[in-house]
Amino acid sequence: MTLLPIFQIVAFVYSVVLHEISHGLMAQSLGDDTAKNSGRLTLNPLPHIDMFGSIILPLLTYFGAGFMFGYAKPVPYDVRNLRDQKYGPTKVALVGPATNILIALCFGLILRLLSDSIASVAMAQLFGYIVWINLTLAIFNLCPVPPLDGHWPLITLLPQRFDEAKRFILRYSLFLMVIFIFIIFPTIYSYTVPPLFKLIVGYYP
């Protein structure tokens, strides 16, 4: 039995929406209300939809590779309003992947502990998909390639003598992103997501 695409779409959409909302909530806690004033601290998926990342890319990956992947429109925030100017952007960035990991842990542990009590095969598959997509989103976004969340710790924490390297990364971010998606990330994925899924749920996806 295969999980129906509609359930995959709903699980995917709300995984990326919660990821983005967490960015906005963290920015708000640090003094910036841009996300709130932009109407982005909402579970309504419509304000978060990015035409390419939330519609075209998920359809391409689903029909081309048999799985669904993409991203939501980034939540806006003004770094100048953050009380913590040095580490604030890193805090805002990392809370997104942390939210995905928390979601994966919650649904994975429910699936692992209550697998015998989940009568519906579709429900078990849905929980498994939620774990998988959230782990994938977390690992993907933690990678240090702009504009992914993981580039903020790199930019923030590297000492000043690496400023030239920082400028190179930012200048060629689009080129580096293409290389990362098609060449580097598949290897990172294979060594991280399936083992983490098995660690949480008890079997490989």
Q: Where are the domains of the chain?
A: 5-201
Q: What share of the chain has pLDDT > 70, as a percent?
A: 94
Q: Where are the beta strands (DSSP E) in 58-157?
A: none
Hey, what long-range contacts does 152-160 have (CB within 8 A, 24 or more apart)? 152/89, 152/90, 152/92, 152/93, 152/94, 153/90, 153/93, 153/94, 155/89, 156/86, 156/87, 156/89, 156/90, 157/90
- 49-66 average pLDDT score: 77
pLDDT of the residue at 153: 87
For residue 66, the model assigns a pLDDT of 66
Peptide bond before 147: cis, by omega within 30 degrees of 0? yes
More confident residue, 70 or 19: 19
Per-residue confidence (pLDDT) for residue 65, from 0 to 100: 65
Percent of the chain having pLDDT more than 90?
46
E strand map for 8-150: none
Average pLDDT of span 92-114: 94
Cα gap 171→44, rounded to integer Å: 34
| Confidence check: pLDDT of 43 > 80 | yes
| pLDDT tens per residue across span 109-136 | 999 887 766 667 778 889 999 999 999 9
Q: Is the pLDDT of residue 64 over 80?
A: no
pLDDT(140) > 50: yes
Nearest to 158 by CA among 86, 65, 53: 86
Whether residue 80 is predicted with pLDDT greater than 50 in this model: the reply is yes
138 pLDDT band, cuts 50/70/90, is very high
**With contact defined as beta carbons under 8 Å apart, do 142 and 97 qualify?**
yes
**Residue 191, both tokens:** 């060594």
Residue 1 has pLDDT above 50, yes or no: no
